[in-house]
Amino acid sequence: MSYYPSETSAPAQNQSEPRRQYPLEYLLSTEEGFTRSIDYTSTADRIVIILLAVGGLGLAYNVFNVITTIVSRPSAAHHFWALFFSVIDTTGHVNPLLVLEVWVPVIVVPLLIIVLIISRLTRASTLRKVFHEYQHGGFVAYPQPTGLTKAVDKNTEHAVMIVAGPGVHPQWGVAAAQQIQFKAASDAQYAQAITKMAHRSKKAEGLIDRRFPVFNVDPSIPEGIFVAALPEKDADSPCIAVPKGSRWDLYHIKKTNGA
């Protein structure tokens, strides 16, 4: 039984023919289109945004307490900032918890805003570098499900996906995924071997180790087909594959671009 299109004699494109560009590839061919399309947020940015939200809630809570005090004692309205920065409790002593509640958000929130601004300013140069790397060996990956998963930790699993490498028509990735899914359903050892090939990235959404094509495990699958472990929520969405040494890092494409 063959899973591969009979009209295609080889997975790679004829090198004498011009490389076909699909709408998504055409959009990513310019720096402006690439920057608009890539869903690139570093882990540090995510942490800063979370801390900023927590600090903002702390400031809001303090303001709420001050307003509540003013409502109950209108004469205190002229002492808004004194109340806002007050760390004296009802016993007349400095309360360490009030010091944390009042001053940590006041100090940390402005610092986090500065860090976020710097991050946004440097993001342009970072994306310019990623775009340059994409132009030299990158491609648009169309992950296909195998029905297998890979445990990331006790509570998280990533989907094991098949990706057709550069120069390989995405339809060959579809065929390979179907073949793997069929074989893995009846051969646990085969399923384990495929799952073992899927590596997770700490920096990007996922990665492909170009040193280990699926052909190494299953010679019936054409060369140029690879395995990737991706978060299940976006596993079947197109990705931007950017070369990094012996691997390709995978970045999701923003949903607003019709991916």
pLDDT at 11 over 50: no
For helices 188-197 and 170-184, give the axis angle rounded to 10 degrees: 140
> What CA–CA distance (Å, rounded) separates 12 from 21?
15
Please tell me the distance from the alpha carbon of residue 199 to that of residue 208, in angstroms, as a whole number. Answer: 7
Q: How confident is the model at residue 38 (pLDDT cuts 50, 70, 90)?
A: confident
Token pair 């809630």: residue: 57
pLDDT of residue 5: 58
Residue-level pLDDT at 16: 43
Amino acid at 5: P
Which residue in 33, 38, 15, 31 sits closest to 141, CA to CA?
38
**Domain extents for the chain?**
43-134, 139-257
HEC secondary structure over 63-130: HHHHHHHHHHCHHHHHHHHHHHCCCECCCCCECHHHHHHHHHHHHHHHHHHHHHHHHHHHHHHHHHHH
Most confident of 6-10, 76-80, 94-98, 214-218: 214-218
Q: Does 154 or 253 have the greater pLDDT score?
A: 253
238: helix, strand or coil: coil
pTM of the model: 0.63
The mean of the pLDDT values for the chain is: 80
Which residue's structure tokens are 């940015």? 45
Q: Is residue 2 predicted with pLDDT exceeding 80? A: no
Are 207 and 248 in contact, with CB atoms under 8 Å apart?
yes
3-state SS assignment for residue 161: strand
d(CA 119, CA 14): 43
Q: How confident is the model at residue 256 (pLDDT cuts 50, 70, 90)?
A: low
Of 61, 59, 83, which is closest to residue 73 (Cα–Cα)?
83
